[in-house]
Amino acid sequence: MRVLPDPEIALRDAADFIFDSSICRRALSDGTPPEFAVLVRDIIGAIHRLTASCQLPEFTDHGLPHLCSLVDRICRWTPPPGRSTPQTVVAGLTSDECAVLLLATLLHDIGMLSQRSEDLPDPSDPRWARGNREVANWVRLTHIRRLSGLVHRLFEDSYPDFFLPGSSLLRSISVAQAHGSWPWQSDFQSLPGRDSGLAAIVAVADLLDEDANRCDTKTLVQHRHGSLLNVAHWLRHSLSANRVLVEAGVIRVRHARPPGTASQLAPVFAALRNHYRLTLLYSESLERVGAGLLAPIQFDPPTGVPTVEASGLEDWHMVEGFNTQSALVFHLLSSFMPQALLDNRRLGDDIINRLRSQGLEPVDLVSFQAIRGNRERRSPDELAFRALIGGA
């Protein structure tokens, strides 16, 4: 008789990987309370269960593979040469800082795996109500705002000591929430001591987790899950061919180009380069914990689609709504945050100037903005139609 597959194998593999990492080993040293290890294991288990029950299929991965990727990237992060710092960034952190950083890394996206509005600090606030929003867009919009309430709901009864003021868990919640902010914003500025440096590590590691390992485009193309925006997020990940690390303070990215596309994708690759350059905004905070970055970021020119993970892009034009290069460009550009686009319709001059000071390049948004309209709200179906007909 055939042996049925064990659904817990992925959980055990992830737990073993995380506990064997240098950051976890340092977090468990120097007098860390023994129940900290049990808490970490329970957090990993809770994320596994949430992923199985709540992960929306149209999202890129926010579960244990994504978290293991971030833990590995942080542990392999090496500072620029010639500094009187340890060989790795993790080795330069205290055990207490490693505990906070590990928990913040595990918890930073947990809100993406939950859909309960009662975890909001202000569920009645109309700004965060579901209303007519699609569930996926509401989850993405509110995932950081729901983080603290979700963690309290899941773990406070079992681990009351970790919810006392100054505990590593409460500090990690603040650090995890700050990963969604820029260094000049209040969530970041209010972090005490070197915690802003820890938040910068989480934010940069998350920005760099952009490669094709983050998703399975073959499955996406076959099953076509999700809205056009979510599909575009998946496809965008396949445009980074290598796993992007910080080695000796240097970030290097090798891009891939979908087959059958030409120079029309130039704005997409400009936005993608800008996405990676956003990491440089955290340089000052990173310096506080010995995790500096060297500019400029190194980019290799886009070539074919070399990875197994991105093989589905061979048939990108078969995905409904992406049938033409114009539509592909439009939807891919829609998946970027306005900072990566240098979108002056949504950003003030002070932010644009700050971004340009870090080397972000102009993105040709003429066709993109023509399709979107002049700040006019349009339905996804109308935007898709206008993209297919070239913005007429």
Model confidence over 316-363: pLDDT tens digits?
777 777 888 888 888 899 989 999 999 998 899 999 999 999 999 999
Looking only at the bridges linking them, the beta strands covering 298-303 and 246-247 are: unpaired
Q: Given a cut of 70, is residue 281 above it in pLDDT?
A: yes
CA atoms within 13 A on the CB side of 69: 21
| pLDDT tens, position by position, 244-262 | 999 999 999 999 888 888 7
Sign of the dihedral defined by the CA atoms of residues 177, 135, 216, 256, in that order: negative
Mean pLDDT, residues 140-159: 94
Give me the phi and psi of 302, to 5 degrees please: -70, 135
Cα separations in angstroms, 31 against 94, 95, 96, 170: 12, 9, 9, 18
Q: Are 75 and 25 in contact (CB under 8 A)?
A: no
Q: Given a cut of 50, is residue 106 above it in pLDDT?
A: yes
Q: Are 177 and 187 in contact (CB under 8 A)?
A: yes
Q: Are 312 and 218 in contact (CB under 8 A)?
A: yes
Q: Are 188 and 178 in contact (CB under 8 A)?
A: yes
Residue 371 pLDDT: 63
Quick one: pLDDT band at residue 388, thresholds 50, 70, 90?
Answer: very low
CA angle 151, 290, 211 (to 5 degrees): 60
Tokens, residue 14: 């992830």
C-alpha 30/C-alpha 28 separation (Å) is 7
Tokens, residue 268: 């997409």
Q: Given a cut of 90, is residue 61 above it in pLDDT?
A: no
C-alpha 92/C-alpha 242 separation (Å) is 27
For the ranges 198-212, 230-244, 358-372, the one whose mean pLDDT is highest: 198-212
Look at 23 and 83; give whichever has higher pLDDT: 23
Mean pLDDT, residues 280-299: 94
Q: Are 312 and 250 in contact (CB under 8 A)?
A: no
| pLDDT tens, position by position, 8-37 | 668 999 999 999 999 999 999 888 888 999
CA-nearest of 60, 391, 77 to 248 is 77
Helix (H) or strand (E) holding 276: helix 266-277
C-alpha 329/C-alpha 387 separation (Å) is 9
Tokens, residue 158: 């079992």
> How many other C-beta atoms are found inside a 10 Å radius of the C-beta of residue 263?
8
C-alpha 263/C-alpha 7 separation (Å) is 44
Residue type, 329: V
CA-nearest of 179, 25, 6 to 102 is 25
What is the distance of C-alpha 352 from the center of its chain?
Answer: 22
Mean pLDDT, residues 194-221: 83
Q: Which of 113-117, 199-203, 256-260, 286-290 has the weakest average pLDDT?
A: 256-260
Give the global pTM: 0.89
